Amino acid sequence: MSTKRSYDVIHSEGGVPIKAWTRGVPIEEAAAKQLANVARMPFIHQWVAAMPDVHWGIGATVGSVIPTIGAIIPAAVGVDIGCGMMAVRTTLTASDLPESLRGVRAAIEAAVPHGRTSRGRDKGAWSTPPPAAAAAWAGLAPRFDAIIARHPAVGHSNHRTHLGTLGTGNHFIEVCLDESDRVWFLLHSGSRGVGNKIGRYFIELAKKDMRKWIVNLPDEDLAYLSEGTEHFTEYIEAVEWAQTFAMTNRRLMMDAITAAVGAVPGIPPFRAEMEAVNCHHNYVAREHHYGKDVLLTRKGAVRAREGDLGIIPGSMGARSYIVRGKGNPESFHSCSHGAGRAMSRAEAKRRFTLEDHAHATAGIECRKDADVLDETPGAYKSIDAVMEAQKDLVEVVHTLRQVVCVKG
């Protein structure tokens, strides 16, 4: 590994340093302030690491790595608990795909519930879960039942009917080609409605605890749960369960995608020929760093220990990458989770037109309507700049370009 430092050190008043892998990538003032707020929390171990895709989030920035001892910040983990990526390389090549990819996209959209409706049946959920999803839920149900026995409010969520479904916003399914024109399936999703419910519920519990103990915080969304308390123990159990749900959710969708594409007329029989990559990028884990056992929160960051395979997606019209971790200890063995937003969703809808979006996604079979303008490529930072800024964190194994993109 190169000994030349590739990050900048930002010193926060009254807090630990911030090591930021953001050279050549813009970082907005609001995000810098959030990083400083987190750095001032009294239980941070060593420093806070900011990834090159860092941008404003709730409480803590998206694109940050936060090591804590004796406490955890639920809002830093977030409400899309266990959100992450999954990728599979197939034996198909570009020449095996039909000239028009509309049928491929339609097959995937029919196989995986996605999106939402404002009233009536949620089209992003199962009305009756298929056998594979029902069997997977049977394995998850006992731990969930124990959680809701103590916290019944968490049970009022689309838990069973969201397992094996995509969601909305920046969640997506893609068919991609690598540098050798091999076909890959790629997807981005998490723990869906139940993870959201768990996250919001414990964020509010943490805020109530702070008010009860009269704890002054730089931001109320940095409310934390102290180790040894009942709420801390129960949050850890709930968040670990949600992370298992998310991993299972991605596996079920990938199975459905593979079967759906395999049934498209004209596509020859195929199989997955590389072990699937299935990684979280919104989660907390117990890890050992710089001589201490810590709770490491990666909010918009991927684990990148030496040899770890990870996925760093671009936007709807930009390249994505399969990467291998270099095990950089200063980033707490982490890398970015994507390109990172360059602006808010509202700003993207104001700034870009449908013509802009159509041009940016030319040659990709995807939605080109007003409801996805907030996901247009221009709303994101340059994936090229993001990858350049973290060359000492990961090496590129495969470069993928989309040919089909399904959005919720």
pLDDT at 205 over 60: yes
| CA end-to-end span of the chain | 40
Note the pLDDT tens digit of each residue in 269-315: 999 886 789 999 999 999 999 999 999 999 999 999 999 999 999 98
pLDDT in tens, 40-57: 999 999 999 999 999 999
Position 3 scores a pLDDT of 54
Domain ranges of the chain: 8-342+380-407
For residue 83, give every residue at least 6 positions away whose Cβ sits within 8 Å of its Cβ, in sequence order, or none: 171, 188, 189, 190, 191, 195, 246, 280, 281, 282, 283
At 272 the pLDDT is 87
Query: Average pLDDT of the chain?
Result: 95
- Asked if the model's pLDDT at residue 130 lies above 90, the reply is yes
Rounded CA gap, 110 and 257, in Å? 10
pLDDT tens, residue by residue, 3-17: 578 999 999 889 999
Using the Cα atoms of residue 143, residue 146, residue 152 and residue 153 in order, give the sign of their dihedral.
Answer: negative
200 by DSSP, 3-state: which? helix
What beta strand segments (E) does 316-356 contain? 320-325, 334-336
The model's pTM: 0.96
Task: State the pLDDT confidence band at 121, using cuts at 50, 70 and 90.
Answer: low
Helix (H) or strand (E) holding 173: strand 172-177
- Positions annotated as catalytic residues are 337
The token pair that represents 351 in the structure block: 């700034």
Taking only the tens place, the pLDDT of each residue in 355-372 is 999 999 999 999 999 999
What pLDDT is attached to residue 386? 97
Residue 240: the pLDDT is: 98
Q: What is the pLDDT of residue 2?
A: 46
Confidence grade of residue 390 (pLDDT, cut at 50, 70, 90): very high
Query: What share of the chain has pLDDT > 70, as a percent?
Result: 98
For 168, counting Cβ atoms within 10 Å of its Cβ (0-12 exposed, 13-18 middle, 19+ buried), the class is middle
* 8-342+380-407 maps to CATH 3.90.1860.10: yes
